[in-house]
């Protein structure tokens, strides 16, 4: 009886650690994708149609994405 209770506690602890790792991987993936899209918009690889503002608006939007992503990374590091 005592062994099974300890085993359950160990499994719960391992599940929590696994969840933290998965959350970190998902967060890091989001940061990498955001930066990739932002820099692609700044560099002109990704653009908008002319009727939506064209490359100028895409460049501005790219900078917004990059700056806000970097701010969120700094805030997440400071939170830890």
Residue 71 has pLDDT above 70, yes or no: yes
Q: Which structural domain, as residue segments, surrounds residue 45?
A: 11-79
Residue 3 lies in a domain: no
Domain count, the chain: 1
Residue 2 lies in a domain: no
Query: Which among 22, 37, 25, 23 has a CA at the least distance from the CA of 68?
Result: 37
pLDDT in tens, 27-38: 999 999 999 999
Average pLDDT over residues 38-60: 94
What CA–CA distance (Å, rounded) separates 17 from 35?
27
Task: Report the SS3 class of residue 55.
Answer: helix
Whole-structure pTM value = 0.75
The phi and psi torsions of 10 (rounded to 5 degrees) equal: -65, -40
Read off the tokens for 32: 């990498």
Residue 5 lies in a domain: no
């Amino acid at each position: 009886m005592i062994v099974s209770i300890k085993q359950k506690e160990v499994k719960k602890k391992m599940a929590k650690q696994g969840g933290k790792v998965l959350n970190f991987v998902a967060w890091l993936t989001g940061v990498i994708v955001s930066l990739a899209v932002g820099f692609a918009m700044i560099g002109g690889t990704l653009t908008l149609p002319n009727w939506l503002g064209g490359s100028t608006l895409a460049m501005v939007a790219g900078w917004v994405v990059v700056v806000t992503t970097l701010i969120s990374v700094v805030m997440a590091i400071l939170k830890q």
